[in-house]
C-alpha cells in the first residue's frame, strides 16, 4: 500500500524507517515491490524508533493466535510469506504517522498486535490529501 500510494501521490513525502542495515534493507525493498517514491531511512541503532515512542514488542504482540492466523492467511491467499530477519530486530514495534507541512502530527497508528496494519488512506485524509 505504501509503494502504491507513494507512486500515486508524488506531492506527499512518504518515509519508511528500517532498523536493518543498508544491504538487508535494499534486498527487502526489492522483495516487496522495488520501485517506489518512498524515502527510506536506515536506523540500525533504532534512535528514531525510540524518539517516536516505538520500543520492543511483547511475545503476545507477535505470537497471539490472531496474528499467527493472519500470517497463515496471507501466505495462503496472497502468497506473502514471512521473511527472515537478516539484520535489525524482529521484536521492534512499528508505527505509522501522518505529519502535516507545519510539522504537526495529525494521525498516529501504533499496532496493538503484529497484524494490525495502518490505514494509510486515513492518514492521508488527516493531512488533507485524498478526501
Pick 113 or 89 by higher pLDDT: 113
Per-residue model confidence (pLDDT) at position 62: 63
Instruction: Determine what percent of the chain is predicted with pLDDT higher than 70.
Output: 77
pLDDT, the chain, mean: 82
pLDDT band at 97 (very low <50, low <70, confident <90, very high): very high
What pLDDT sits at residue 120? 93
User: What are the residues facing 38 on neighbouring strands?
Assistant: 14
Beta pairing class for 96-99 and 105-109: antiparallel
Nine-digit cell at 82? 514471512
Contact by Cβ (8 Å): 98, 105: yes
Alpha-carbon distance 12 to 74, whole Å? 28
pLDDT at 90: 66
Has residue 79 got a pLDDT over 70? no
Tell me: the pLDDT tens digits for 13-64? 999 999 889 998 888 888 777 768 899 999 999 999 899 989 777 666 566 6
Amino acid 36: pLDDT: 80
Q: What Rg do the C-alpha atoms of the chain give, in angstroms? A: 15
* Structure confidence at residue 104 (pLDDT): 96
What average pLDDT score do residues 108-128 get? 87
Cα 9 to Cα 18, 122, 127: the distances in Å are 22, 14, 13
Measured between alpha carbons, how far is 90 from 88 in angstroms, rounded to an integer?
A: 7
Amino acid at each position: 500500500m505504501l509503494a502504491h500510494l507513494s507512486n500515486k501521490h508524488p506531492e506527499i513525502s512518504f518515509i519508511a524507517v528500517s532498523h536493518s542495515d543498508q544491504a538487508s534493507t535494499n534486498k527487502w525493498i526489492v522483495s516487496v515491490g522495488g520501485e517506489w517514491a518512498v524515502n527510506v531511512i536506515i536506523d540500525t541503532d533504532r534512535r528514531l524508533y525510540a524518539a517516536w515512542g516505538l520500543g520492543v514488542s511483547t511475545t503476545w504482540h507477535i505470537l497471539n493466535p490472531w496474528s499467527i492466523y493472519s500470517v497463515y492467511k496471507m501466505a495462503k491467499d496472497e502468497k506473502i510469506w514471512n521473511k527472515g530477519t537478516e539484520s535489525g530486530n524482529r521484536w521492534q514495534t512499528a508505527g505509522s504517522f501522518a505529519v502535516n507541512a507545519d510539522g504537526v502530527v495529525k494521525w498516529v497508528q501504533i499496532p496493538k498486535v503484529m497484524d494490525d496494519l495502518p490505514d494509510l488512506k486515513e492518514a492521508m485524509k488527516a493531512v488533507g490529501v485524498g478526501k
